[in-house]
Amino acid sequence: MAEKLTKLIKTMPSGFQVIAVPLPGYKQTYSVAMTDFGSVDTNLGSGKHLPAGIAHFIEHKLFAKPGYDVSEKFAEYGANSNAYTSYTKTAYLFQTLENPYDNLKVLLDLVEHPYFTEQNVQSERGIINQEIQMYLDMPEWVLEQKILAQLYPHDPISADIAGSSESLQMINKDNLLATYRNSYRPANMDLVIVGNVDFDKIVDVVEQSPFESMDSQTEIEKNKFEPIGPGGQSTMKISQSRAAFGIRIDTDLTGYDLVKYQYILNMIMETLIGESSENYQTMTNKNLIDDSFSYNVVAENDYCFIIVSGSTNKPDEFQKYLRDYFLNNDLDKILTKDKFERIRRDAIGAYLFAQNSPDAIANQIAELQFYDVDYLQLVQLLNSISLEEVLQASKDVFKNDNFTYYNLIADGK
C-alpha cells in the first residue's frame, strides 16, 4: 500500500496544519487532533512551574461543554471517540463508519472551545484522583515511575502523567485556561484524517471552525536534568517481584535525526535481547525472565532512554546479568550484514503492514509532523541507516554511567 498512499497537507493562516490521507474504498475514517504539549511541559522558567498533571486535566475537561459532553455528540454521528496524554503530546481522536465531516466538526469544537468552571474542575479532581489511586495498585505502573525517577531524578517525567493528589489541588479554572491558550495555539497543533474523504471538504470544515483568539505565548523551558540515580528497590504486595533496568542517553539530536536514532536503538535492542535472540533464551534458561520480559525505547525531544523490565524471581541476578551483558555485549559479532538487513526488512515490513490501519497511519503522521519527518518517507529513512551507525551507537549507549535500576520486591521476600 505504501506506493498508493497520498498525503495532502494545508497549513492554515493560523499555522494549524491539516493533513489528509485519502483511502478510496475504505469504510472506516479515523482522525486525530494533536498538540505538542504533554505531561513534562511544566517549566515556565524563573522558578515557576505548572502543576503536575495539568496536561492530562485539560484532556479530560475539554470534553465538557455548556450543557453537554462532546462524547455524546460523537455518538450521535456514529463515532467512537477517545483522547490520551503522553509525556510530550496530547491527542483527541475519533473513528467512524459514517458522517466523517460532521464528526470532524465535533472534533474541532472539542479542541477549539474550552469550557472550564469551578464546578466542573472540582468534580474532575475527584475522578482523576480515583484514577491515580487505581494505578498505585498496579505494579507495572509503580515500577515505571520508580525507574523513571532514577533515570531523571526530580524531573516531571518521573511524575504520574495524571499528577498526584496534591498537585490536583493546585489546578483551577484559571491556570487551566491560561495553559490551554498557551499550549493549544493553532501553530502548536496538527489535524490528521485518514479514510475515504475529500480533502477540499475537510479544509472547508476547518475554515468554518476557527480557533478562539489566543493569548501571547509563554515559552515552556527545557528541563535541566540532574545526574542519573544510583538505583533502588522497595517492597509491594505482589505475588512476584519485578525489575527494571534503565539506560539514559543524553543526546542533542532533534527532528529527523532523532527519529532515525530511535530506529537504530530499537535495532540494537532487538538484536541483543529480542525474543529471537540467543540472549533471550539464555535468560529464560537461567529463570531470570518470563514472557512478561520486554524493552521500551523512547526518543523524544529532550528525552531519550531505554527501559528493560519484567517479572522475575531473581531481581538482583536480573540486574547484574543485564549490566554485565550490555557492558560486554558482542553486537559486532552477532549483527552481521545479513542479520542487519533482515532486521531492517522487518522494520520496513512492520511499517508497510501498519498501512492497513487508518489509526496507525494517522497517529504516526500526527506525531512525526512535530519532528519534521514525512511519514511516507520512512522507508527511505530506514534504508539510510548503516550497520556502522548501529555499531557506533551501541558503543555510545552501553556505558556504566548511563545505567540504573529499580527492583520491586514481592512483599515477604
| Angle between helical axes of 387-397 and 337-354 (0-180°, round to 10) | 90
- Burial track 106-143 (b if 16+ CB lie within 10 A, e otherwise): bbbebbbebbbeeeebeebbeebbeebeeeeeebeebb
Q: How far, in Å, CA of 158 to CA of 362, rounded?
A: 28
Tell whether the torsion through CA atoms of 337, 340, 344 and 350 is positive or negative. positive
CB-based burial of residue 145 (10 Å sphere; 0-12 exposed, 13-18 middle, 19+ buried)?
Answer: middle
Across-strand partners of 297? 306
Cβ pair 265, 347 in contact under 8 A? no
HSE (side-chain half, CA atoms, 13 Å) at 289? 23
At 250, list the grid cell.
543524553
CB-based burial of residue 69 (10 Å sphere; 0-12 exposed, 13-18 middle, 19+ buried)?
Answer: exposed
Residue 372, classed as helix, strand or coil, is coil
Q: How far, in Å, CA of 149 to CA of 145, rounded?
A: 6
Q: Which of 59, 124, 144, 367 is catalytic?
A: 59
Q: Is 59 among the catalytic positions? A: yes
Question: Which of the residues are catalytic?
Answer: 59
